[in-house]
Structure 1
Amino acid sequence: MKSNRLFEIIYILLDKKRVTATELAEHFEVSRRTICRDIEILSSSGIPIYTDKGRNGGIGILDNFTFDKSILSEQEQNEILASLESLNALKYPNIDSTLAKLKPLFCKSDTSWISVDFSHWGSDDREKDKFVKIKSAILDCNIITFEYIDTYGKISLRCVEPLMIWFKEKSWYLKAYCRKKNDYRIFKIIRMRNICVCEQTFVRSIPTEVGEIKENEYKNINLELKISKDIEYRVYDEFDIDNISDDNNGNFIVTVQYPQNDWIYGYILSFGKNIEVLEPIDVRDKILQIIDDIKIKYL
């Protein structure tokens, strides 16, 4: 307890610049004599604390003092604060108070440089609440239950051990052990609803090979796409530069590998008139069929 009090006295002095022995005594609920002994210990340890007597006197610490200068380099201090800022943006518990203590100790300004919002555009507080519940369940190792809507619109009730929130290809996923399937699964968070955090806990860690599991077991296909130069911004935003070439007319030829499911057809159609599927032929034919079906609705 004493060592914790000594550390916090340094933090208070760095934060407030000057306090009285009475204020410290009231804060720690100890006597003024105890505080005076603490100040003597800190001074004898090389901490540059000074006291001023008189009406406006008090206990202070030299302005140019950095508590950990001999322990952590400038780069190490910045890396620690950057990591904590990242956790704070992800709403990790109790990080606010840690940052509040370390910034004065490191003599850093109170600048927030990162913000993370898990929800998609147009969503409401219920969508944000999903991530709060999932995060809490992962940290506390609680089972969660939820209704899940698969690619075909079928709804199933799932009971899982949540292990990790994962961001992939512009979407948020949950890596979990599904008790219904008795295997690891990846769930698209936007398709999860009515999430309930249970009191029951679990003991399981995430194996490295889970990262290779797909949301559903679809066969990957190689696509060759011709994309108009008019939407160049999308090409460089959404495809690896190594997969992009020129067709000598200013348009782009993109080769990419995707799972063959309903998502891929919607994605291709999102480019409108600015895309043409060159290969494979069956995907090209499927796109033509979808376009014909759409045309019928407008005739």
Structure 2
Amino acid sequence: MQINRLFEIIYILLSKRTITARALAERFEVSVRTIYRDIDILSSAGIPIYASQGKGGGISLLEDYVLDKSVLSEREQNEILYALQSLSITQAPETDMVLAKLSTLFNKKRINWIEVDFSPWGSEKKRACQFTMIKEAILSRRIIEFNYFSSSGEKSIRKVEPQKLVFKVNAWYLQAFCLTRNTYRTFKITRMSDILMTPAPFSKRNFEGLKENNQTQKTQIDICLNISAEGAYRVYDEFDEEDITKNKDGSYTVNASMPGGEWIYNYLFSYGPLLEVIEPLDMRLEMKNRIEAMMNKY
């Protein structure tokens, strides 16, 4: 508690420059004598803090004081602030507060190098609540329950031990031990609803089991695609430059390795008539069969 109070006193002094011992005592609900003991501790630690008498007097720091550079270099200070700023993708409400405090401690007036928002339009409040709840469940090791929709649209109620939040290929996922299925699973956040953090705690498991489970799910398929010139806006967004060959007619040939699974057909069909699967042959035939099945509906 005292360490937190000392840190807060430094932050206040850097923000306001001068404050009375009585005001600090009232803020932290301690005696004035305790505040003066804190000031002695800070002074003995080499922080240039002093008290002045008279009107406008109080406890102050020397002008232009910055957190000792011997503790953190200029580059290390910036790296910490940049890392915190990049956490805005999770929309965690406490991130801005911590960033503001450290910016003041490091005497950095303008730190604004990145802004990332992966949430769908209009869902910021809901997504922030989801992240906050899941994060708290992970850190406090509390079981969560939620409704989950599979890729085929099947709804199920899941009870899981949350382990880790992962951002992969334009989507957020939760890695967890599923108590409903008694195995490790990866859940897509957008398919989770009615998330509830229960009071039930859980013990730490061997996380290697989750890594092994993920490896078995990532069977890679080598594919060759032909994408027409009208699809250029997606080609360079979604494939590595070294996998792309631009043809004389303006179309593109893409040779890439992609994870297998039902999702890949939905992804390829999202190109509509702009895409043709060249290889592998069995995938090309499967695409043809699915197109015929769709045609039969009309």
3-state SS of 2:283 partner: helix
Taking the aligned partners of 2:72 and 2:124, their CA distance within structure 1 comes to: 43
> 2:11 matched to 1:11?
yes
Looking at structure 1, the residues matched to 218 and 53 of structure 2 have their Cα atoms a distance apart, in angstroms, of: 77
Cα distance between partner residues in 2 of 1:144 and 1:34: 43
The TM-score normalised by the length of structure 2 is 0.81
Q: Which moved more, 1:27-36 or 1:241-250?
A: 27-36
| 1:65 counterpart residue number | 65
The secondary structure found in structure 2 opposite 1:153 is coil
Are 1:163 and 2:163 matched, yes or no?
yes
Give the letter for the 1:222 counterpart.
Answer: D
Distance 2:13 2:130 in 1: 41
Letter matched to residue 182 of structure 2: N
Shift of 1:105: 1.8
Give the match for residue 139 of structure 1: 139
Q: 1:177 corresponds to which residue?
A: 177
1:153 and 1:277 map into 2 onto residues whose CA distance is 26
Match of 1:289 in 2: 289
CA deviation profile, 1:87-141 (whole Å, cap 9, x unmatched): 4653557545443432222111264544554533464754554333322221211
Secondary structure, in 3 states, of the residue corresponding to 1:101?
helix
Q: Is the 8 A contact 1:89 1:114 kept in 2?
A: no
Amino acid at match of 1:119: S
Cα gap change, 1:285 to 1:5, in 2 (>3 Å) = closer
State the Cα RMSD in Å: 3.4
Matches for 1:14-163 after TM superposition, within 5 Å: 14-29=14-29, 39=39, 42=42, 46-87=46-87, 90-92=90-92, 94-109=94-109, 111-115=111-115, 117=117, 119-121=119-121, 123=123, 125-126=125-126, 128-163=128-163
Q: Does the C-alpha gap of structure 1 residues 153 and 20 become closer, same or farther in structure 2, counting only changes over 3 Å?
A: closer
Q: 1:95 to 1:263 in 2, by over 3 A?
A: closer
Residues 94/194 of structure 1: CA separation in 2 closer, same or farther (3 Å cut):
closer
1:99–1:33 Cα change, 3 Å: same
Q: Partner letter of residue 241 of structure 2?
A: I
Letter in 2 for 1:202: F
Return closer, same or farther for 1:29/1:165 CA change in 2, 3 Å cut-off.
Answer: closer
1:227–1:12 Cα change, 3 Å? same
1:268 to 2:268 alignment? yes
**Residue identity matched to 2:158:** R
Q: Which runs of 5+ in 1 are unaligned?
A: none
Match of 2:226 in 1: 226
Opposite residue 252 of structure 2, the aligned amino acid is F
CA contact (8 A) 1:146 1:196 kept: yes
Deviation at 1:11, TM superposition (A): 2.7
Distance between the aligned counterparts of 1:34 and 1:136, measured in 2? 34
Q: Distance in 2 between matches of 1:280 and 1:113?
A: 43
CA shift at 1:164, angstroms?
0.9
Write the distance in 1 (CA, Å) between the matches of 2:33 and 2:145: 56
Corresponding residue for residue 242 of structure 1? 242
Higher Rg of the two aligned structures: 1
How much does 1:278 deviate? 0.8
Alpha-carbon deviations, 1:158-190, whole Å to 9, x = none?
222111111222222211112233221112222
Kindly provide the CA deviation profile for residues 239-298 of structure 1, in whole angstroms up to 9, marking residues without a partner as x: 122222234443221122334443222211211222111112332233233334444555
SS for the counterpart of 2:289 is: helix
Unaligned runs of 5+ in 2: none
Distance 1:288 1:66, change over 3 A: same
SS in structure 2 of the partner of residue 256 of structure 1: strand
**Identity in percent:** 47
Count of residue correspondences? 298
Q: Report the TM-score when normalising by structure 1.
A: 0.81
Correspondence list, 1:205-224, <5 A: 205=205, 207-208=207-208, 210-211=210-211, 213-214=213-214, 217=217, 220-224=220-224
